[in-house]
Amino acid sequence: MGLLKKLSAFTEKLGVELKQANKDKLTLSTYQKLFPKDSISNKRFYNIGAGGFLHPYWTNVDYYSDWYKGWAKNTDKGLNYNLFSHEALPVEDNSAELLYTSHTIEHIDNASSQYFFNEAFRVLKSGGIFRITCPDIHLQYRAYQNNDNGFYYWKTRFTKNGESYQPSIEQLFVQRFATAITEIPEEGIDPRMSTEEIKELFKKEKLEDALDTCTNRCTVEFQKQQPGNHMNWWSYGKLEKMLKEAGFKTLYRSGYGQSATAVLRNTHLFDNTHPKMSMYMEARK
């Protein structure tokens, strides 16, 4: 009986893998229909902050620091680029077909984000698309207002001084856009914000002012030591404003798997990081 169960499980897994392989073949043929051979052979599709992403037509762009070791695969495949450097992306002007970045811009400050968006506009071809997904601050704020602890599903166990504990919802909320100033991480920027301080701040100040008060305390120098932290907040309005400043005029408020280009609608490869708490935006050059 045990052998039959193992055989059944193996067969089921093989069937899933074959279905996925067929989907991937269809996806590759879609690239060949939509894009020039030159763009495909030269991998003029760029995933910025790619981590372990791997696709035969895409070029990974990431900063291959020691922080990635042990969890991200394929970090030696692609372009080594530090978003904090404010240097030009190593990509020719008007050459990229698509740019994609997922859950990256919450890890960098506003100045670095604006520089990145400017570079995205520079390197894209006319008609090229830049797709961005990141945490939606309004979803996070709603969960905080509603005392909705279930929203923070991605981490359920917290320890301090070797003992388990449950942070307040105020701490969980601020951790998602200004990690280092909360009481949650072992290493942070002192003085940390107490739960009462967070409550008072978001009672007396307008939302965006309160958010900026928090993120302004997060430094690039500390972020370089702890790049997994979040140090920025994003709303559709803020993102639209900065993309327009970069030169983009055509913007789409998108959704999970709802890209304007067929290849980015493959949720096996894209949009699969925390869709329940994410926002999606596309900018066309």
62 and 193, same domain (yes or no): no
Cα gap 147→168, rounded to integer Å: 10
Can you give the pLDDT at residue 215?
98
**60-111 pLDDT, tens digit each:** 999 977 766 555 555 556 899 999 999 999 999 999 999 999 999 999 999 9
End residue of a domain, out of 225, 242, 264: 225
Same domain, residue pair 205 and 65: no
Cα angle vertex 224, ends 246, 219, to 5°? 70
Q: Are 102 and 49 in contact (CB under 8 A)?
A: yes
Give the pLDDT score at 156: 72
- What local confidence, expressed as pLDDT, does residue 257 receive? 97
Residue 130 lies in a domain: yes
User: In this structure, are 218 and 254 located in the same domain?
Assistant: no
Domain end residue (candidates: 204, 225, 246): 225
Task: Judge whether 6 lies within some domain.
Answer: no
What pLDDT does residue 22 have?
Answer: 43
Write the CATH number for 277: 3.40.50.150
- Verify that 27 and 148 share a domain, yes or no: no
265 shares its domain with 251: yes
What parts of the chain have a pLDDT lower than 50?
Answer: 1, 4, 6-7, 10-11, 13-23, 25-26
Predicted pLDDT at 159: 80
| Cβ-proximal residues to 162 (8 Å cutoff; 6+ apart), any chain | none
The CA distance from 63 to 80, in Å, is 5
Tokens for 231? 């140090």
Q: In terms of Cα–Cα distance, which of 133, 224, 215, 202 is closest to 176?
A: 215
Q: Name 29's Cβ contacts closer than 8 Å, sequence gap at least 6.
A: none
Question: CA-to-CA distance for 34 and 259, rounded, in angstroms?
Answer: 14
Q: Helix, strand, or coil here: 170?
A: helix
Task: Dump strand ranges (E) for the chain.
Answer: 45-48, 59-62, 79-80, 96-102, 124-135, 158-160, 163-165, 250-254, 278-284
Number of structural domains (the chain) is 2
Q: Are strands 163-165 and 158-160 parallel, antiparallel or unpaired?
A: antiparallel
What are 278's strand-pairing partners? Answer: 135
Q: Are residues 264 and 253 in the same domain?
A: yes
- Contact predicate 135/230, CB 8 Å: yes
Position 64 scores a pLDDT of: 79
83: containing domain:
11-136+234-284
